[in-house]
Each structure stands twice: as structure tokens, then as C-alpha cells.
């Protein structure tokens, strides 16, 4: 039977190929002097305004920043409410896997700390605006930003996962590489799964450590 999982040969990536797809974004990050560009310069034509980085690298940098903010929130929540650590452990593992994959796609000069603050296009700003709330700077600040009631703290995490799902789907929509869009779409689905599981988790009062 033509089960949904049986894709035509070559339609799906091996793990190595998937990782290579992401790494290739970094490899092609800087828009160099292409033959066409060199030709134009020799002919004295004004060079068109071009982005300094591959658009998908900018997408990856934004997505990575969102993942790191999510990890910060999860870490701070676990620090404030020790009993939530076990519940949040698989969530942290998922986002660390996402961040690890995305960091391979982002060259150092496009690290989240610089890419979002220097972003000037509207889409990037919109993406940043819908991402999980920026975490405070210090560890202590992050911890105090977490609600004192564990149920409310968990609700904060659920809301952040839902926002991250939406933001990552937007990144997948924008991605020019189909293979990269597939990975981002899957990441969004993974965040949605955790939001669903955490939303139905029962947490009693007094879970603070």
C-alpha cells in the first residue's frame, strides 16, 4: 500500500544529509563575489544592494536566538521550582537539540546576540516580536522573572512554547531552502508537542525548591 511514510527515493534526507543541509547554510552564509557580480563591476555598472548574508542564515540566527531564550526560561523555571526539573528535562533536551542543529547553520558573526539587534528588515522584526519574551540578563533576574506559583510558572512555559511554535512556523514559511524549511517545521511541531504535554500536567503548590 502506498503508506504515507514511503517517500520516493531521494525525497527524504539521511541524518548526515540533513545536518549537511544546515551546515551548508553556514558555508554559503557570506555572499561573496559571484562571477555575475564581478562581471558587473568590470563593466562599471552599479552593484545592486544585496544582503550581506544568505537569507536562510538570518532565519537560522533568529530561530537560534528563540531557542536559546526558551532554554533560558526553562533553566530559570527549574532553578526556581525544583520539582519541575524532571518534568521540564525532556523539553530542555528538545530545545538543546534544536539549538545545536541551528548553531551549525549560523556563523559566529551572525550569532543571535548580534543578529537580532542589528536586524533591520521588517520580517525579522516581526519574527523577533513574536518570539518568547527576552530573558533578563543575569541568572538571578531570570529566576525572579519566573512566577512564584509553580502552576503559574508552568503556564508561562506553556505560553512561551506556543509562541515559539508560531515563530518557528513563520521561520519555516520564510526559509528558501526546502530541506531547511522541513527541519524548522518539525522543530515547531516538537515545541507544540511539549506545549500540549505541559498544559495537561498537574502541578501542586509548594513545588518551589
Q: Is 207 left (phi over 0), alpha (psi -120 to 50) or beta?
A: alpha
End-to-end CA distance of the chain: 54
d(CA 155, CA 64): 23
| Site size with other proteins, rule: CB under 8 A | 41
Q: Which of 82, 90, 134, 148 is in the footprint of other proteins by CB under 8 A?
A: 90
The C-alpha R_g of the chain, in whole angstroms, comes to: 20
- CA separation for the pair 38, 86 (Å, rounded): 56
Which range, of 8-16, 64-72, 77-85, 118-126, touches other proteins by CB under 8 A? 8-16
* 56 within 8 A of 180, measured Cβ to Cβ: yes
Shortest gap between Cβ of 21 and other proteins (angstroms)?
Answer: 10
One symbol per residue from 159 to 188: x for binding other proteins (CB under 8 A), - otherwise; what is it?
------x---x--xx----xx-xxx-xxxx
Q: Compute the least distance from the CB of residue 162 to other proteins, in Å.
A: 11
Length of the chain: 209
Which 3 state secondary structure label does DSSP give 53? strand
Q: Applying CB under 8 A, which part among 35-43, 58-66, 85-93, 129-137 lies near other proteins?
A: 85-93
Q: Which is nearer to other proteins, 142 or 191 (CB)?
A: 191
Shortest distance, position 90 Cβ to other proteins, whole Å: 6
Residues 6+ apart with CB under 8 A from 112: 61, 62, 64, 65, 68, 106
In the complex, minimum distance from the CB of residue 120 to other proteins, in angstroms, rounded to a whole number = 24
Q: Is 92 in the site for other proteins (CB under 8 A)?
A: no
For the record, the C-alpha cell of 126 comes out as: 516581526
State which residue, 4 or 206, has the beta carbon closest to other proteins. Answer: 4
Task: Work out whether 142 is an interface residue with other proteins (CB under 8 A).
Answer: no
Hey, what's the cell of 21? 543541509
Give contact residues for other proteins (rule: CB under 8 A): 1-5, 7-8, 11-15, 17-18, 90-91, 93-94, 97-98, 101, 165, 169, 172-173, 178-179, 181-183, 185-190, 192-194, 196-197
Amino acid at each position: 500500500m502506498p503508506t504515507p511514510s514511503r517517500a520516493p527515493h531521494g525525497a527524504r534526507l539521511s541524518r548526515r544529509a540533513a545536518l549537511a543541509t544546515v551546515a551548508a547554510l553556514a558555508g554559503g552564509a557570506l555572499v561573496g563575489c559571484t562571477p555575475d557580480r564581478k562581471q558587473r563591476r568590470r563593466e562599471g555598472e552599479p552593484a545592486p544592494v544585496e544582503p550581506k548574508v544568505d537569507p536562510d542564515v538570518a532565519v537560522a540566527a533568529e530561530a537560534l536566538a528563540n531557542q536559546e531564550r526558551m532554554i533560558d526560561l526553562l533553566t530559570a523555571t527549574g532553578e526556581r521550582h525544583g520539582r519541575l526539573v524532571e518534568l521540564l528535562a525532556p523539553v530542555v533536551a528538545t530545545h538543546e537539540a534544536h539549538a545545536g542543529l541551528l548553531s551549525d547553520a549560523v556563523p559566529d558573526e551572525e550569532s543571535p546576540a548580534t543578529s537580532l539587534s542589528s536586524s533591520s528588515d521588517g520580517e525579522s522584526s516581526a519574527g523577533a516580536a513574536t518570539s518568547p519574551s527576552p530573558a533578563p540578563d543575569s541568572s538571578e533576574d531570570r529566576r525572579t522573572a519566573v512566577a512564584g506559583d509553580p502552576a503559574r510558572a508552568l503556564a508561562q512555559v506553556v505560553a512561551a512554547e506556543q509562541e515559539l511554535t508560531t515563530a518557528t512556523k513563520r521561520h519555516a514559511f520564510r526559509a528558501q531552502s526546502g530541506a531547511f524549511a522541513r527541519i524548522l517545521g518539525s522543530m515547531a511541531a516538537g515545541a507544540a508537542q511539549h506545549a500540549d504535554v505541559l498544559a495537561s500536567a498537574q502541578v501542586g503548590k509548594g513545588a518551589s525548591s
